[in-house]
A and B are shown apart, each in its own frame.
Chain A
Amino acid sequence: MIWLAQHPLTILTFLPLAGAAVIVFLRREAASHIRGVALAFSLATFALALKLFLAFSPNQPGMQFVEHHPWIASPPIGYHLGIDGLSVLLILLSAFLTPLSVLASWTSITSHVKEFFLFLLALETGMIGVFVSLDLFLFFIFWEAMLIPMYFLIGVWGHERRVYAAVKFILYTMAGSALMLVGIIYLYTVTGTFDLEVIERQVTSGVAGLSGSAQTWLFLAFFLAFAIKVPMFPFHTWLPDAHVEAPTAGSVILAGVLLKMGTYGMLRFCLPLFPQASREFAPFIIVLAIVGIIYGSLVAMVQPDMKKLVAYSSVAHLGFVVLGIFTFTMAGIQGAIYQMCNHGVSTGALFILVGMLYDRRHTRQISEFGGLATILPVYSAFFLIVALSSLGLPMLNGFVGEFLIILGAFHVRVLYAALAAVGVVLAAVYLLWMYQRVFYGEVTNEKNRKLPDLTDREKVILVSVVVVILWMGIYPQPFLRRLDLNVAQVIQRVERGTPSYALEKTPPPAERTR
């Protein structure tokens, strides 16, 4: 028991995998048992994550709940876990979305139920593992291993073009991470360790002699892997395919958590380890991020398919996050992290909502619907709240993140902020226009007349989402407070790196904005 109490992160990480192991031994026919076990384990994981979130001390700098054991002797690789404000939020998000995905797949997954929940739980272990690893090698193991369950989720339970989407997804991501592996090993040959904290210390104190060009190449090797994962324009082409073809749970996890791994990687590795290169590339990255915001929004606007619309909106939203990160301001980075969570909740919920409609009508074409508000009043109400949160209405969660990001961008260059604000407007356009076409007006399609409204199970999912949306929108303090030290530290690292040529106007570390 003492061992258990001393290793909360190990338990958190491997609890879902234990659930998967239990499922292996259940009979294939006992589908309801399998669902129950999956739900129980994912809920237990969420409870544990919540407990960690509450126990996490916002005033203590550095990593908390650290576990450090030697693992591989040569080269020295440690089993090094720990969390800070950034990872604790993302862990909470992952642990929150997994039980929702289990519930959302309750009736819609009818074939190979056992394998489905097995992969879903294995995926959760991979996600949490990515966020708790403080050893580059360990991180890479989780990062890559997680692709396999996701690949199966898309490829087996997806829609018509699922195989194409699954293979595209895995090849894109692996191509990016292959170069990151080269970068990781190179970093090891320079520093002699895979331990993130040691490398960070060496980099900040200048012990590790990373020449300017080496830093540039390393930055690019890492950044490419993360940019593909995010995905940033122009590496986004795998995303619409994967999102549209994946089953609902797959889309939720993909949008909710997997994309965040890219931005998490930028914050965790690119900025602190390669501060100088980060500053040099910041203007280009910001431009790409803004292109992503506008392009993603415009493409989302013309999608005839609701799921594709949500998928492209992800490109835009993640553009905001990357923009926030590379402003190197307190507000920008905090907003980016907050927006990561918001996007996870809102877009995850949008995918769940679209999935519910698909379960009823087996189509997602906007033109097939119209006037649903009179037939499905409860569903329409929930959809409206989630859509408003996604487009950043004040009092809902999306607003907080986007506001902080734009504030940060404003400090760097007014033009950036203005262009990003255009993105906010466009988000309102595509979401509300879609809402109008699907829910308002006369009932245009007779097939929709008899659609049943939400079941209790679906209400549970949506109510929990809406509670989180409201909470994060009205009272963001508990979340932001845990980020303060973290973000300050990241900014400090980036600022301190010896400048080769700084940004034309180096932004002052912005004063606290709340």
Chain B
Amino acid sequence: MITVQASDLIRILPQVILSAFAILVMLFEPFLPARRKTLLGWFSLFGVIAAGAAAMRTSFSPGPAFGGSVTADPFSLYFIALFLLVAALCLLGSFNYLERDNVNHGEFYALILMATVGMCFMAASTELMMIFLGLEISSLSTYVLAGFKRHDGLSNEASLKYFLLGSFATAFFLYGIAFVYGLTGTTNLRALGERLSRSGASGTPLLWVSIVLMFIGLGFKVSAVPFHIWTPDVYQGAPAPVTAFLSVGPKAAAFAVILRIFLGAFQTAGSVSFQILWLSAVLTMVVGNLAALWQSNVKRLLAYSSIAHAGYVLVGIAAGGAEGTSAVLFYLAAYALMNVGAFLLIAHLAGTGERSTRIEDYTGLGYTRPGVAACLTVFMLSLAGVPTTVGFLGKFYLFRAAIHSHLIGLTIIAVLTSVVSVYYYLRLVVVMYMREGKPEAASGPLPWALRVALATSVIGIFVLGLFPNDLLVLTSLAAGPLP
């Protein structure tokens, strides 16, 4: 019999606060006139900040909660902070978007908060069933978010596709959990790790099957090849601020789970999970980067780019160890800054109804909107991994971890595919600065909430790209022993 103690609640305080705010938003929503819904957005932002403060409080009393099903450790707190940052940036970027496209409903903000709660639980859970619950909470919210523009065909298609394939994938994950339970009699990650190393069951085919099944479920969430088919359609169809959220939040959460399961509990099953990770990293980098070369739609281009970035992260996970984990954590923060920034800016530039999302729509933007174009250039260069940006340092740490683990072949594939990626990132720069013409994509001045989000991203990209020491302290702390 588990009794709930105060310390248990403190260890999940950020999640509690976020949930409370989500429920309050739903309660207030019917009483606000249609014009005032943005207030709920600010209220949600306040909730995110409050959750951040709560996370600070949680960090003073780390430890397992609720009988070991949830743990507040540096690892989970790092991810919670990352999710809160992503949620805050996406909220800031969505206020004007929702007004402009006439879908300003309070549910949007509540769903963002709920999805964040789910992600936080994914990162914090040390129990497979809890991880599954977190996965479902965040998935269900994001399915709805993807189809939030209900009068838009593409958005509907995105939602349906995401929902069908997503449920299929989570079923795989659940199936994997069932196998693991059958094999070891537990779903607690810590106990699981102990029993696996004691029983010597690491070589059995059943374990192999369960590892594959779980990886399929998680691989879908991080859009690792060959489970990436949904990504371009969903990223293109979903409202752009939601895409910003989707491309970073659930992905990072799934990586947190992969780290916990594959580098923590299944460590003893090393070779099998390593081979899967290695193969998946290569496929993801190659397919993502090559497919991105042929895209003409900015959102699809960034969708494939985000697939490629998942591949780089998988390189870090394949490298493993504290160094690999730390590099993955660093990279996810870098990726969050640059990808959210890029998608939010694209959301604004696309104009009402997201009409201008082709690459040619940006022709000449560098001279009509120099500030906007400079921001987008910074995001692209950082995604491409050009030095002085955090994108470069992130890749540097991933490659260092990989080389340290003697994965030289994998690293060479990674650097060469990232050279390929330079080509398609620069395509945007080329049309913005090197082609004459009047841009289609230039809708009004930047709203200042968006300005705050963009400034945070750009400043973050350069500050962390040049002075990463503080973040490194955090990542190496968080990369301590798992789970």
Chain B contact surface mostly: helix
Q: Known contacts A73-B469, A179-B415, A185-B400; is A156 also within 8 Å of B433 by CB?
A: yes
Q: Known contacts A171-B423, A178-B415, A182-B403; is A145 also within 8 Å of B387 by CB?
A: yes
Task: Out of A73, A155, A181, A189, name the residue touching B415 (CB < 8 Å).
Answer: A181
CB distance from A261 to the nearest CB of B (A): 15
Give B434-483 interface residues, CB cut-off 8 Å to A.
Answer: 434-435, 468-469, 472-473, 476
**In the complex, are the beta carbons of B423 and A189 less than 8 A apart?**
no
**In the complex, are the beta carbons of A179 and B400 less than 8 A apart?**
no
- Is B53 located at the chain interface by the 8 A CB criterion? no
Contact residue range for chain B? 20 to 34
Task: Out of B396, B411, B419, B476, name the residue touching A171 (CB < 8 Å).
Answer: B419
Contacts of A74 in B (CB 8 A): 469, 472, 476
A112 to B368, CA, bound (A): 12
**In the complex, are the beta carbons of B472 and A73 less than 8 A apart?**
yes
Chain A contact surface mostly: helix
A148 to B381, CA, bound (A): 9
- Is A358 located at the chain interface by the 8 A CB criterion? no
Chain A residue at smallest Cβ distance from B367: A112
A185 to B411, CA, bound (A): 10
- Is B399 located at the chain interface by the 8 A CB criterion? yes
Contacts of B411 in A (CB 8 A): 182, 185
Task: Out of A72, A112, A167, A182, name the residue touching B430 (CB < 8 Å).
Answer: A167
- Is B388 located at the chain interface by the 8 A CB criterion? yes
Contacts of B435 in A (CB 8 A): 163
**In the complex, are the beta carbons of A167 and B426 less than 8 A apart?**
yes
- Is A210 located at the chain interface by the 8 A CB criterion? no
A138 to B423, CA, bound (A): 24
- Is A152 located at the chain interface by the 8 A CB criterion? yes
**In the complex, are the beta carbons of B387 and A163 less than 8 A apart?**
no
Contact residue range for chain A? 20 to 34
- Is B229 located at the chain interface by the 8 A CB criterion? no
Residue in A74, A75, A188, A189 with the greatest tally of chain B CB atoms within 10 Å: A74
CB distance from B365 to the nearest CB of A (A): 13
- Is B386 located at the chain interface by the 8 A CB criterion? yes
Give A167-181 interface residues, CB cut-off 8 Å to B.
Answer: 167, 170-171, 174-175, 178-179, 181
Contacts of B404 in A (CB 8 A): 189
Contacts of A75 in B (CB 8 A): 400
A142 to B386, CA, bound (A): 10
- Is A35 located at the chain interface by the 8 A CB criterion? no
Contacts of A179 in B (CB 8 A): 412, 415
**In the complex, are the beta carbons of A174 and B422 less than 8 A apart?**
yes
Q: Known contacts A182-B412, A186-B408; is A163 also within 8 Å of B403 by CB?
A: no
A167 to B430, CA, bound (A): 9
**In the complex, are the beta carbons of B415 and A182 less than 8 A apart?**
yes
- Is B188 located at the chain interface by the 8 A CB criterion? no
Q: Mark A121-159, 1 if CB is under 8 A from B, else 0.
A: 000000000000000000011101101100110011000
**In the complex, are the beta carbons of A175 and B423 less than 8 A apart?**
no
**In the complex, are the beta carbons of B434 and A166 less than 8 A apart?**
yes
A151 to B386, CA, bound (A): 13
- 25 A-B pairs within 8 Å (CB atoms) are namely A73-B472, A73-B473, A140-B387, A141-B387, A141-B388, A142-B387, A144-B387, A145-B386, A145-B387, A156-B433, A166-B430, A166-B434, A171-B422, A179-B412, A179-B415, A181-B396, A181-B399, A181-B415, A182-B412, A182-B415, A185-B400, A185-B411, A186-B403, A186-B408, A188-B400
Residues on A lying within 8 angstroms of B by beta carbon are: 72-75, 112, 140-142, 144-145, 147-148, 151-152, 155-156, 162-163, 166-167, 170-171, 174-175, 178-179, 181-182, 185-186, 188-189
